[in-house]
Structure formats: C-alpha cells, structure tokens
Amino acid sequence: MQKLNDYCTCEAKLRGDEFVGIRNDGCLEICFPAGYFKNDDAIAELDEDELRQDIMQLFDVLSDSELIEVHENSNIIGRDVEKSSSDFPMLAYVNLLRNFMEYGYYSEQEVVFKQGGNGKVDWNRTIKTLRPDVVNDSVVYLDPVTRQTDNNECELISLIHKFCVWDAAKRIGFVFGVDIQEPPALDFDYEMFSSVLMTKASKTFHDRALAIFQDMLRIVEYLGKNVSDENVIPDEFYFGVNSFAPVWEAMIERIFGTEHREDYYPNCGWVIDGKNAGRVEMRPDTIMKVDDKIFVLDSKYYTYGIDGRTLPQSESITKQLAYAEFAEQKIGKTVYNVFLMPYCAGAVTAENFLYPFKMKYLGYAYSDWKNTDVAKGLVKPYHKIHGVLLDIKNVMQNYSKSNAAQKQFANVITTANKKGP
C-alpha cells in the first residue's frame, strides 16, 4: 500500500499546473499550494500523522465558504471548471470517516410502543393510557402497551451508512488509512436513500445521529448528481481550485483588511460624442488602516519567495501607484503601497522571521516617472511599492483578522520606507 506521502505534491505550480486540492482523474493526487512545504522531497520525509494534519488544514481552507464571499472571483468547493464536476462534499466525507473510525458503523434500535402484540410490557405507559378490565374480581390489562423494535428501518439505515462509509473510504480513505474491501450490500438508490435519510433526520433529536444523517444526505445528493443512467458512480472527483490566487487574496483580506475597498475604487471610462460611454472600476485587493496611515495591499500568489522567479511587473506596479494616488486625493492620509507574496519559511533560516506569519521584508518596486529620492522632497511614501513575504503555511493555519499582525506589518513597511534608495 502506498504511503500517504506518495500522493502529495507542492510543486505542481512550478510545473505549470495551477490546481490546488485533491483530485482523482485516474490517479489520486493531493496538490498543496506552492510554498506550503520546501519541496516534494520534504513531503516524502514527513511523518504521516503530521502530513495528515496538513491535509486537513488544506481541506478546511478549501471548504471555507466565507473565502468565496470575500473574493468574488474565488471558485472553491469542489468545482473543476474544465471538467464541470459537481460540488464534492469533502467535509461530509471527512466527518463520516472520522466518526466511523471512532464509533464504527452506525446502528440503532428504534423502539415503538403498541397496544397488544409481542414485546416487553411498558407498565408505566399502560397504566397512564389504558383503563383496566375487571375479570374474576381482579383488575387486569388485556392489551397492555408493549415495547417493540422496528428492525427493518433500523437495518436499512445501517446498510445506507455502510454504503456511504464504503464510498468515502474508496475516495479519501487513503488519507486516514481506512481501506474497506467488502462492497456494500445495497446498490445505490438515490430516491430510497434520500427519502430514508430525510425521514430519519426529521425524527431524531440526538446531535451525533443528526450530524451523521446530514453528512450522509450531502454524500447521497452528490452521488445522485453524478451517477450514470446505468447506476454507475464514477471514481473520478475533484475538490479544489484551478487557481489558488483568489484564495490567497481572500485570506490576506481577512487578516489585514480594515476598510471598505469600494471607497478606494478609482474609475476609468470613455466619452464619445460628448456622452459617457461607460466606465470601469479599478479594484485594489485590500485596504488596511493603522493609526492615521493607509496601506494599499496587492496580494500576489507569485513564486518569487519559493524559486526566486516571477515578481510583479510594470502593469501591477502602475496600478498600485494609481490606487495609492487616488486614496491620497480622496482620504488625505499618508498612503503606503505593498505587494504581499507567499514563501516557505521552512526553506530558510529562522533569524529573519518577524511574527506573526513569519513576515520577511523583500525590497521595493519603483517607477522612473515617480520620484523615490527623499532628499528632493518630492517623494511620496507610496512611490515605493514594498514587497513582503508571508509564510503560506502560517497564513493558512490562522487567517482570521489580527490587530497584532496589522501593527507589525505597518511597522515593517514604515520602517523600510524611511530608508533611502
């Protein structure tokens, strides 16, 4: 059996493959974003339990629906544009397997109460609900209330659970070391499975059981969308993004964004024959305000911090200058410009780290039509577009809003800006 490490790579982007996530298009593969590990050799040396935690971290990020809301161009949660796959319910599969590993297959005995028939007499219910008969001067209950088990329905829900666990193990069981060879007793039946699960979910008040039923329902819905007319469920699936850049931008916005970006949108447009022919908004990625200073941030999922290649070029530099100049004119505050790029802190020595996110100052970009010479008195702080590297693994582990990170980041930029060319 292959080791978990053999399925993982962090070098796909360096080979021109932008996909990040897990996919099976005939070959199972988990693609981490560039910089999460030093290289694939580093992955091969990792302990499997540690790597499993990293995989769960990747799945958590790709399952965060709020990242989509933060960045309107994100395309997360199991949608592969080129192959048009349906949404893959990764968390449902993960939850189901974790529950199975802890508790085993789901089973229950549903108790029903009936008057008469076989079963253990429930005297409390009998006395409360029935009037006794008098027979030979004795008080008797001829048809007492009995407790009976609905074995058919209980067995059916167990069989559906076994089917879903088997399907989960077939797809992502290798992540957890779960391998189920025995096929399920039931063939997939969308109508029956979904009907039984919805009925069970509506009746239960047990939190764990409800969570299991809801996860199973999500899996059944996914399978129902992908099953063939011959009732064959394809092994292929995709859960991830074709470009991690929007996810990187969304995480940076979550950590550093303090202002409404819409307030900082400059507009461009045409006037034809004296009439406005429409205009286009220019949209900065993130606006951060610390004290009385404004920072215009551009998140770049570039590989310079990993392989020393690919820095933001003239188009990006020019846009940042335009954003910052507009912000200065509109807000009247001191404005700074920054490019934020990922890197792998595990690939460098620790003495240059600045916490949180192991920040590392890179340098700055400039334009020869904007003055960067402080001595001449014409320079604006935003004429330098500073470059800062953040450890992508640290960012993915904690991308919630951080005042400490904002203040540290602001200090890095303002300190660097005071230095000469």
In a domain, 17, yes or no: no
Per-residue tokens: 25:
């298009």
Give yes or no: residues 405 and 355 share one domain.
yes
Predicted pLDDT at 331? 86
Predicted pLDDT at 131? 65
Sheet containing strand 286-290, strands side by side: 286-290, 293-299, 334-343, 385-391, 360-365
Q: Structure pTM?
A: 0.83
* Domain encompassing residue 361: 247-418
Give yes or no: residues 133 and 195 share one domain.
no
| Partners of 338 in beta bridges | 297, 386
Predicted pLDDT at 74? 42
Q: What's the rounded Cα separation, in Å, for the pair 22 and 373?
A: 49
Judging by DSSP bridges, how do beta strands 28-31 and 360-365 pair with one another? unpaired
Give yes or no: residues 188 and 176 share one domain.
yes
245-256 helix and 403-418 helix, angle to the nearest 10 degrees? 100
Q: Which of 177, 211, 233 is a domain's end point?
A: 233
In a domain, 372, yes or no: yes
Q: Which of 172, 199, 233 is a domain's end point?
A: 233
In a domain, 5, yes or no: no
Give yes or no: residues 311 and 357 share one domain.
yes
Give yes or no: residues 182 and 262 share one domain.
no
Task: Measure the CA angle with vertex 384, ends 299 and 402; round to 5°.
Answer: 40
Phi, psi values for residue 390, rounded to 5°: -120, 140
- Counting the structural domains of the chain, the total is 3
Give yes or no: residues 198 and 342 share one domain.
no
Give yes or no: residues 216 and 351 share one domain.
no
State the DSSP code for 354: B
Three-state SS at 40: helix
Determine which helix (DSSP H) or strand (DSSP E) holds 203, and give its type and residue range.
helix 190-203
Predicted pLDDT at 85? 39
Give yes or no: residues 206 and 265 share one domain.
no
Give yes or no: residues 145 and 179 share one domain.
no
Give yes or no: residues 287 and 413 share one domain.
yes
Q: What's the rounded Cα separation, in Å, for the pair 305 and 318?
A: 22
In a domain, 83, yes or no: no
In a domain, 334, yes or no: yes
Q: 13, 231 in Cβ contact below 8 A?
A: no
| Cβ-based neighbours of 247, under 8 Å, separated by 6 or more | 20, 33, 61, 62, 67, 71, 74, 76, 241
In a domain, 213, yes or no: yes
Give yes or no: residues 206 and 95 share one domain.
yes
In a domain, 54, yes or no: no
Three-state SS at 208: helix
Give yes or no: residues 265 and 397 share one domain.
yes
Q: What's the rounded Cα separation, in Å, for the pair 405 and 357?
A: 8
In a domain, 370, yes or no: yes
Q: 211, 95 in Cβ contact below 8 A?
A: yes
pLDDT tens for the chain, 421 residues long, are 689 999 999 998 888 888 999 999 889 999 999 999 999 999 999 999 999 999 999 999 998 887 755 544 444 444 444 443 348 999 999 999 999 999 999 987 555 546 666 666 665 665 667 666 666 656 565 576 566 555 556 789 999 999 999 999 999 999 999 999 899 999 999 999 999 999 999 988 899 999 999 999 999 999 999 999 999 999 999 998 888 999 999 999 999 999 998 889 998 999 999 998 888 888 999 999 999 999 999 999 999 999 998 999 999 999 999 999 999 998 888 999 999 999 999 888 766 778 889 999 999 999 988 765 555 667 899 999 999 999 999 999 999 999 999 999 999 999 998 876 6
